Amino acid sequence: PQGQPPETHECSICHRTFPTGQALGGHKRCHYDGGSSGVTQTGVEQEVESPL
């Protein structure tokens, strides 16, 4: 075998992959920004704690 494949970081919401954790973190913000309803842009409901 030719070594291990490069490590990728997969978005748990839309399953896109990124070369670094930092890239993944920046991407995941798009799923949460501007949405306090707990539903992401992909329409997947997430448990989100509402601010008081």
Q: Write down the pLDDT at residue 45.
A: 54
User: Residue 8's domain spans which residues?
Assistant: 1-31
Contact present, 23 and 30 (Cβ < 8 Å): no
Contact present, 32 and 44 (Cβ < 8 Å): no
Q: What is the DSSP string of 1-52?
A: ---PPPP-EE-TTT--EESSHHHHHHHHHHHHTT--SSB-TTS-B---PPP-
Examine residue 17 and state whether it is found in any structural domain, yes or no.
yes
Q: Total structural domains in the chain?
A: 1
- How would you write the pLDDT of the chain (52 residues) with one tens digit per residue? 566 666 889 999 899 999 999 999 998 888 876 555 454 455 555 556 666 7
Examine residue 50 and state whether it is found in any structural domain, yes or no.
no
- The Cα 48–Cα 17 span in angstroms is 23
Examine residue 49 and state whether it is found in any structural domain, yes or no.
no
